[in-house]
Amino acid sequence: MKRLFAVSSMTLLLAGCIPSLSQEDSLTQETEESQEEVVMIPEVQLKESYYRTLLPFKKSPVHGLVVNNIYTKYDMKEAEEGLLRLSSEYFSTEDYFYQEGQYLSEDIVKQWLKRVSADEKGLNPASSNTGRDEQNPLFLAHIMEQNFLKRTSDDKVVVEGITIGLALNSVYYNLEGKEFPLSDAQVKAEGEKLANEIVKRMREELEIENIPIVVGLFKQQPRNAIVPGTYFAVGKADKGKTSVGNWTAIQEEYVLLPTDNTIEKYRDVNMKFKNFKQEVDEYFPSFVNVVGKAFYKDGDMQQLTIRMPIQFFGTSELIGFTQHVTGLVQKHFSSTNVEVNITSTNGPEALIVKPAQSDEPFVHIYDY
């Protein structure tokens, strides 16, 4: 079953409200109720790594479940953004349009997340009814879906790709609140088994026979973590296939800075960060907390994000401090993609962004 979108002529819908989108194509979307809805394809693509999204934005039926199913706000964000990164490797941002998943309903996902002892469609192990369940922990925490649409030669747009993200627990918390870490081998084996079953059900029960389905396995962090988990494996079920093949390991991780980790690949950035932090502390030693988050892919650092909550509010102080920090970013991280967020209890105060290939950072001081 493919969802079909018929292209019509341009309309005046939204014209005047969003001038930058005045060159959009107007489409009619055929819904499951056989009704037509007007949707738009933006002409503007902000970055090559971003998908153009069908408008008006249609939320996934399971959009709101993520808050209850995933432990931390960091994992909530990374589970979605990381899945988009994986998707772009299979469905080009140049050729495909994005829409939040529309096939999996809220009822289906809630049902699949249950223990099989509570619902025959449940994908988590049966409960022992003791409240402990150390031997049969919950592995599957959440299911995400993303849809990718492509314009065909006969001026129609169809769903040509689906990605599914499976958020898996790295720690099981029983009803007594005790923690039971789950090994990487356990999580991987269960994740691949769950992926095959979900693809099979989507093919058979949702009648999605001829759309490739990509599945990413995401290992979420424990409840008290302050850095996100990451996707660790991805596989694909080609058209008509009821199981996932060609599993590929993903080498991604987030590291909190400064770190006591002695692994060699962190040593250089950790030393630079400590020197950067020391010079910040010399400027305002009592009023600034400096925390960094480094993102590594395939062993190399891709992005450094620094958060700096401050406790002073004077405009001249803020300008002077921001200028000082900008100079330190150029000094210590000349060849790194860096983003610095300076905040206070009032909200964002200043933003510093320095791409690795640029000598001049972008600096913005917020004006309330």
SS3 string, 142-160, reads: EEEEEEEEEECCCCEEEEE
Q: What does pTM read for this prediction?
A: 0.88
A 10 A CB-CB count for 129 gives: 8
Cis peptide before 56 (omega within 30 of 0): yes
- Strand pairing of 300-309 and 338-344? parallel
Give me the residue spans of the domains in the chain.
50-250, 255-365
pLDDT in tens for each of the 368 residues of the chain? 555 444 332 222 322 333 333 345 665 555 555 555 666 777 777 787 899 988 888 899 998 999 999 999 999 999 999 999 999 999 999 999 999 999 999 999 999 999 999 999 999 999 876 656 678 899 999 999 999 998 877 767 789 999 999 999 999 998 888 899 999 999 999 999 999 999 999 999 999 999 999 999 999 999 999 999 999 999 999 999 999 989 999 999 999 999 987 788 899 999 999 999 999 988 776 677 899 999 999 999 999 999 999 987 688 989 999 999 999 999 999 999 999 999 998 899 999 999 998 889 999 999 86
Residue with tokens 């140049």: 94
Looking at CATH, the fold of the domain delimited by 255-365 is given as GMP Synthetase; Chain A, domain 3 (3.30.300)
Q: Which fold has domain 50-250?
A: sex pheromone staph- cam373 precursor fold (3.10.570)
Cis omega (within 30 of 0) on the bond before 258?
A: yes
